[in-house]
Amino acid sequence: MRRRRYRLSLLAVGGLLAPLPAVSLPARSAHAAEPTAVFHKDQDRGSGYGGGYTITNAGSAAINGWTLEFDLPANHTLGSLWNAAYTAAASHVTVKNPGWRPRIAPGASYDFGFNVAYSGPFAELRNCKLNGKPCDGSGGDDQAPTAPTNVAATQSGPGRAAVSWTASTDDVRVAGYDVYEGAAKVSTVTGDGTAVTIGGLADGRHAFTVVAFDTSANRSAASVPVTPRTGKVNPQTGLTIGYFTQWSVCARGYSVKKLDTSGSAAKLDHLNYAFANIHPSTKQCFLTDKAAGNDSDPNAGDGAGDGAGDAWADFGRGWDAGTSVAGTPGTWDQKLAGNFNQLKQLKAKYPNLKVRISLGGWSYSKWFSDAAATDASRKALVSSCIDLYLKGNLPVIDGRGGAGSAAGIFDGIDLDWEWPNSEGHFGNVLHPADKANYTLLAQEFRRRLDALGATTGKHYTLSAFLPADPAKIIAGTDVPGLFGAFDFAAVQGYDYHGARETTTNQQSALKVAAGDPSTPDRRFSSELAVDAYVNGGAPRSELTLGVPFYGRGWTGVPRGSTNGLFQTAAGPAPGSYENGFEDYHKLKEKLAGGGYTLYRDPVAGHAYLYNGTVLYTYDDPTEITRKAAWIKEQGLAGAMIWSFDGDTANGELTTALANGPK
């Protein structure tokens, strides 16, 4: 049906018609001192109408400037509006006084009009507010919530306090809580949450109070203060953290047992298992057996498609005596097998090793934005991840899994959202609110992990993988907010450059190399990335630096005057699993096989191989040792490895990292 838009109160239908009588919608009784805004519908021909609002100042003082808001019903569209300024966002319309008429004297009125087209039945405008209060002059909600009660606080890990309280009540609805240390607001909890963890605290007493606020911005009195004592913050140093990938047991043939026999497991403090996925419909953690897939497909990680997960590798695959960590064969009826059972055996052998499930990654970050968008969706995601992985309530697939079958394997959550409010994998969902929502999501994880810890008597760690690109940091990373929730986080120390670009460069240098031809905004280094986080408020003792156990490469590279570096290439170099990439142990074999020359830049801190045509940028034991020294010099918490399957059979890169300065 065609929609017609009407101007003023005259309709042209075969000629000019006289205005119909104005129809005023009745208003409820108003307080005399409050201004009112009354809607009038002047003409309606079944597919649109002309109408407006009359604002009346019933008070004794002049109104200097006003704002009126209302919502259009479904299938109603605002055409034009006159005698006022306005903006429309979807169905919500905001109208402000014109610059030439801001004042409404006591007892006076002001009218503005508009045209609305609609299909289907007419429906009234909704949620009218004048200067934030109901248009009927009732004055709105002016009753504050009750003050939060039963406020409690306990130490939650080094330099952290977990603050909780009993919910306030309100005549309409409590919208959230502000938490203060002294006069400084240190956190905001929205929705129904009644707990938060405050990080970055020095040793000593800290006085916290909580204030409730409602949907009309009325604020309660402050709660009774609570004064927990936090222990001395011991800076974390020398941590060795690494990712074990779900798929490494397939084409790469790298099992959890090889992590043990290489000597690498004995040198680890934390292991992140990659990756958990988010369901496209429920936006919750889930497991499925869909291992195959094309990573270039924008739907590669969706729940219904191939590539959405590999439950068989996770907890279904059996390992015999020769390939299991414990040296014992699996049985056909065991509820837990696969990588999860091997990690359980690894933890039994190395009881100080902490294992986390990593959520997202490059292929599985598509739905992070939607899952983090609302208080309800955040709670659903966090609850599902904790239930599935930390409580170990796996789905039953081919006789494996079941309630509690994986309990005790994972000691925390690692968040790998690539990237909030910035481009990542093809097809990723992005929202402008991602930056704020990521902080709220991390805080929800922190609250729920602490609540679980209160029942089990252990501390569950929350970590993250964060971008090195300063533009991505600005777009999607609330540094103080996130580090108030994280135990520590890894800064991406690699993928600075690669065959996605036509000019050869380094992929993991500590500093920008002299002669780098990149534009200033595309020059990347570990130094620039770490400085961005520290300057943004991240404690150095909670930052780790990512180190790559693989290289990136180009082919068709002329020698030039730089032995291939900073030259224009023809395309990506050959790779064993994907062109443009090669594992460290493969690159070591290429160098040993002859034809390649190793070049280093000891000032910038990077190395590369070149054979006259092909160039690979990578880290070898010398560069790993250099990075370990730089990490200590910078006072960082340690290093993060991506990923173990790129190392040699005797774990020489892990050894170089572990043997570096602490």
Bridge-based pairing state of the strands 126-130 and 133-134:
antiparallel
Report whether 370 contacts 271 (CB < 8 A): no
CA distance readout (Å), 414 to 16, 24, 354, 445: 69, 58, 12, 10
Report whether 83 contacts 113 (CB < 8 A): yes
**Segments in 457-561 forming alpha helices (H):** 470-476, 479-483, 526-535
Catalytic residue, chosen from 69, 181, 418, 423, is: 418
Beta-bridge mates of residue 598: 609
The rounded distance, in Å, linking the Cα atoms of 576 and 252 is 9
| 331 Cβ contact partners less than 8 Å away, ≥ 6 residues apart | none
The rounded distance, in Å, linking the Cα atoms of 570 and 572 is 7
Report whether 268 contacts 246 (CB < 8 A): no
Instruction: Give the 3-state secondary structure of 581-597.
Output: EEEHHHHHHHHHCCCCE
Please tell me what DSSP assigns to residue 144.
P
Lookup result for tokens 């595309």: 522
Angle, in degrees to the nearest 10, between helices 375-385 and 434-456: 40
Taking alpha carbons only, the member of 114, 6, 22, 100 closest to residue 68 is 114
Angle, in degrees to the nearest 10, between helices 526-535 and 621-634: 20
The rounded distance, in Å, linking the Cα atoms of 241 and 256 is 15
Please tell me what DSSP assigns to residue 603.
T
Report whether 343 contacts 400 (CB < 8 A): no
Residue type, 404: G
Q: Known catalytic residue: 34?
A: no
Q: Which helix (H) or strand (E) holds 627?
A: helix 621-634
Q: What's the maximum distance between 2 C-alpha atoms anywhere in the chain?
A: 95
| 439 Cβ contact partners less than 8 Å away, ≥ 6 residues apart | 478, 481, 482, 485
Bond before 275 cis per omega within 30 degrees: yes
The rounded distance, in Å, linking the Cα atoms of 310 and 290 is 5
Grouping H, G, I as helix, E, B as strand and the rest as coil, residue 356 is strand
What is the set of active-site residues?
418
